Amino acid sequence: MSKKLITWIIGIVITLLVVGGITYLCSELSKYKELYNKELTNVKAYQSENNNLKNQSIAHLMTIDQLISSRDSTDIALKEALKKLNIKLKNVVSAGSVTSNMEKRDSIFLKDTVFIKNLELDTLIGDKWYKAQVGLHYPSRIDLAVSVQSVKHIVVHNRRETVNPPKKFWLWRLFQKKHTIQEVVVDEENPHIEAGSQRFINIVK
C-alpha cells in the first residue's frame, strides 16, 4: 500500500470523524435547545399562575412520565380526575384546571320593624363548595353573604369511534370503519353546579 493511499485513507477517516462529531454536537445542541425552551416555557407558565391576570395562563409542557411523577397538587387533582373519567394518559392531548370563586353581599331593609329589640343574629350554612351567611339585625335589616367555589378539570383526549352509527350486534361493529375524534371533557368538582352548553373548536389549517 502506497504512502499516498494511506494518507488518503487517513484523510477520509478524519473527515468522517469530524463530520460525525459535528453532526452529533448539532443533534445534542438541538436537544438542549429544545429542553431549554421547554423549561423556559414552564417557568413562564408558573409565573403566569401567580400574576394578576387571572383570565390568562401559559400552558405547561410535560411528558406523560413527568405528569405521572409530578407531586404538584394541581397535577395530582388532574390525575385523579382522569382516573375518575376513565381516560388513559396516552390518549390525552391536553389537560387543565380552572378554579373560580363567586362572592356576593346584599342587605335588605324592611319598612316595618320585624325583629325583637336588640336582636343580633348571625348564622352560617353550607359546605366546602358554598357558604351562605345570614344576619338578622334589629329593627329590620337582613344581611346575606354568599360564596361559591368552582373547580373544573378540562381534558382533551383522542377517542376512536365508528364513522357511521354503531351496529347493535358487536360482531358487526368490529368491521365498521372508525376514525379518531378529539373529545373535550369538563369535570366540575362542585356538586351544586350543573354544566350548561359547551362548544370547543379546533382550527384546521
What pTM was estimated for this model as a whole? Answer: 0.67
Whose grid coordinates read 373560580? 100
Q: Which among 197, 158, 154 has a CA at the least distance from the CA of 181?
A: 158
Q: Is the pLDDT of residue 151 over 80?
A: yes
Q: Where residue 4 falls among pLDDT bands split at 50, 70, 90?
A: low
Residue 54 near residue 73 (C-beta atoms within 8 A): no
Determine the Cα–Cα distance for residues 8 and 27; give it in Å rounded to an integer. 28
Highest mean pLDDT among 11-15, 52-56, 115-119, 155-159: 155-159
Determine the Cα–Cα distance for residues 27 and 21; give it in Å rounded to an integer. 10
For the chain, the domains span 1-56, 104-145
Determine the Cα–Cα distance for residues 4 and 9; give it in Å rounded to an integer. 9
Highest mean pLDDT among 29-33, 78-82, 168-172: 78-82
Beta bridge partner(s), residue 176: none
| Structure confidence at residue 168 (pLDDT) | 73
Q: Is the pLDDT of residue 28 over 80?
A: no
Q: Is the pLDDT of residue 147 over 60?
A: yes
Q: Is the pLDDT of residue 49 over 70?
A: no
Helix (H) or strand (E) holding 16: helix 3-49
Instruction: Return the DSSP state at 128.
Output: S
Residue 99 near residue 153 (C-beta atoms within 8 A): no
